[in-house]
Amino acid sequence: MRADHRSDDIRSGSIRLDPLTEQDFDAVARLADTIWRGHYGTMISMAQIDYMLDGRYTAENLCRYIDSHARWMRVLRVDGEPAGYCSWSLGERDDEVKLEQLYLLPAHKGKGLGGLMMRTVEDACRAHGRRVLYLTVNKGNLDSIAIYRRSGFEVREEAVFDIGNGYVMDDYVMAKRIAD
């Protein structure tokens, strides 16, 4: 019953995944601020969250998703209101796509919307003829790691990324094969 309800919502247009436009920049930055502070506050410092938000959600960085042939972002709208976003890019390897971001406001979790965004990225992976989807996830992000595992991802490697200003990301690189 619940899955049918979700399908009806998507068909009726109350749930949409729209390509990012310049008019969405402020909304995406506000979503990121709300989601990141609530989600990552116990994993990394607020100073690091501030640094990462300030660098990632500038108009200059978000413009890289508009009219690109190598990276994309979609804004999830529920009843016309921004509720989350996802982004992906072609990977460095010819057979891979990188899931860069998949974020959802807490009030919308458990409704299948994260799965909708994941399926959208997987479909894009197939459309580009790529067979591997990968992502990086903070080692302390146990809830997300569990969700990714249930979705078929496995840890491929551990990696520490220097992101500047004395900060590092201590992550797992997780990957999954995408079926035709």
Q: How confident is the model over 10-69, as pLDDT tens digits?
A: 545 699 999 999 999 999 999 999 999 999 999 999 999 999 999 999 999 999 999 999
Q: How confident is the model over 82-110, as pLDDT tens digits?
A: 999 999 999 888 999 999 999 999 999 99
Place of tokens 């890289």: 64
Q: For residue 13, what pLDDT is reported?
A: 60
Find all residues with CB under 8 Å of 45, minimum gap 6, and list them: none
Find all residues with CB under 8 Å of 21, minimum gap 6, and list them: 66
Q: For residue 3, what pLDDT is reported?
A: 41
From the list 59, 41, 58, 61, the residue with the least C-alpha distance to 49 is 41
Q: What residue ranges define each of the domains in the chain, with the CATH number in brackets?
A: 2-177 (3.40.630.30)
From the list 89, 86, 97, the residue with the least C-alpha distance to 130 is 97
CA–centroid distance for 35 within its chain: 12
Q: For residue 98, what pLDDT is reported?
A: 97
